[in-house]
Structure 1
């Protein structure tokens, strides 16, 4: 890859009292990572030097005044704040939550301005980050607002892709939230993502039922019979390769997921428990449906091990690589869409 073609990778630092700083710095402590991207960390050089010394790492930073001025071959730090931050690893602190939002806000602005190509977000504490400016259940909803798109939480690994009809929704509300319109919208989002982000021309998608055993023909809840099945049948009549609803309890254990390009679960734990069981440490949280590429590791702040040097960087590193890969897939798809003759020549 030529230097000019390297992806400019923005990183929001997350909650500084968690493991975000550790996984970011340990990832780029390996200088080979600079062969794949030009990183821009949205934080502060003093703050990162404190974490670096605490972890006894040897990497060096390049402070920059503007994200657009990132230097290839360097670990760039855009100084979002100037003051010192009081870091107490493992502690929930609303003041530290303010800095997590400052980092995310600046990184999102750079993404919107095309000063960075991809955003990788380190984990936030969803409670301490709350404020008048950030009143969201997580990154996904905030980015959907800022990037004005319809978002889909899409957990991805090399072996499995799981999307969600509902993500951070209370269990008692799920049956009321899942409507035919929502089902069609989320399926459209996942199909479009599989086509433009993963080079799958005719994706096959499996859908998990809302109730245990997909309702057992209405014995255990009527939502699958009255909402899910008619909607999926309507999509199949249009030629869509959408299958289900499948009973969630046996779908993953039977390895049926291997027959599909993606799976859509009805709610958060229905999809994420099997995904993390099968892919933990290698999985990536991808926000599909937006105009820009955003990924993150598949775990949280892990306060219980913060500052101990024990955090596993694999998921964050995968988030970096998947972000780069998806960005390049989108570029290729956009080019082929603009120039369909090139696609024909490529087939020949």
Structure 2
């Protein structure tokens, strides 16, 4: 048991590459941590770490040992927490990194319900577009918009949602802008691209209408990594924004935004939960499953509303023609 405890301490130091940071994360004195690592090296008979005043680096033997220890320590932790699930409710602190627009636009009611369902779990949320390093930073998972990461290869991506996107603009923009009856007409319009934005102003966008597909190279004057900002720009009449119906529901109801090209949609955006390993503690696994279920329910409800609105619009158009 003592050896496993030493291995856990070594893994923390190797991840942080700092005795001080590891000691803070483990909530123990730096001197105690250093002494335990020295005892581990004595038991093994090999030096695992190069120590200097500036940083800590793994030796060749330390690299090999770290790779094996990571999985052993993780499996032991998951086994322990799984046993706790049998005798008590999941507990501990859940640390999640996620984009601010996604958190504020979608997750507040979901987080409330999850917290009510699992009252012993605490939360630490880091709302940032920064790509946190799950191998060295103390996060249980990161929620990211767009394709899954390709590096490092050890990361595990679980798709938890597909967010549909449509085009919205303010009535003031629609009134003065060129006619817009087909996606090809977008070449004469101003686009504000947020979610899943390409870093290039001119990018190929794919539009769908049933089984029909159209690829259009659209020049985007405003390119950003914030859906909230692209929505705000559209509300002010600057241009057309690619948004989803959940985030625009209030703006549409208040008349601040209207759907343009209502029969067409852009390719949906993927949402992934990224973890360092497939071996997850109960609170992380439950949180991912909870998010996936609730986001799917939101997507289905939004699609039902969209279809109902299209039927109402077509009924109004047919009534006007008959009149």
Provide the TM-score with structure 2 as the length reference.
0.26
Which structure's CA Rg is the greater one?
A: 2
Structure with the higher fraction of residues in strand conformation: 2
